[in-house]
Structure 1
Amino acid sequence: MRKPRDFDAELKALDDKTRELKTRKVQQLGELVIVTGADQLSTDELAGALVAIAETKETAKREAWAERGVMFFESRSRRTAPASGSNRRSAPGHQGSPQSPAGGTGSA
């Protein structure tokens, strides 16, 4: 006979995983702010810039920003890990490995 599924335990596990992923995302976004130097901006400046970027629908601008981001991460990977085969281009925003703890995003 088949063992009945414990839906409550499965839901709790999914909830825990969701919480963990959200926490990791927030940490990685904080690390991205720090590594780009944007933590030197005031909270209002940073929020305003992010709102403007999020509202921008111009493909050319978004592609230019994406290219600049790629160049930023490629130049960082050359300084921090020469001869490394890893793809550092998406490190703070997309990799699953934990990085240095975000000590705070700060506001000026």
Structure 2
Amino acid sequence: MWSCAEPRCRRRSGVLRPGERLVIGGLYRCVRNPVYVALLTVIAGQALLLGRLGLLLYPAVFWLFAAAFVRCREEPVLVRRFGAESERYGRAVPAWVPRAAAVAPAA
């Protein structure tokens, strides 16, 4: 949803359409998968807040599935759609551990 704050986000009849450009601004400058990272953080935080370390198994399992989906489905689609720009972005920005300082991929 962060990409909807970007001016390039397009809506038609209330349905999001794929953009014509790769979104690499905002949170996407710090980490490639900010939505998955946020969800993992919330799930792990709830486990810690409840004091039930056994619940940390859930974010670990979720990460395994999310990482497999991103690697096998999302990344190949982005490379096919955006080519070299997506590959440069993938090399410049980490997938799962956000950087404190935003990094702009080289053009």
Alignment TM class, shorter chain as reference: 0.3 to 0.5
Greater RCO structure (CA 8 Å; 6+ sep): 1
Instruction: Give the TM-score normalised by the residue count of structure 1.
Output: 0.32
TM-score by length of 2: 0.32
Greater C-alpha Rg? 1
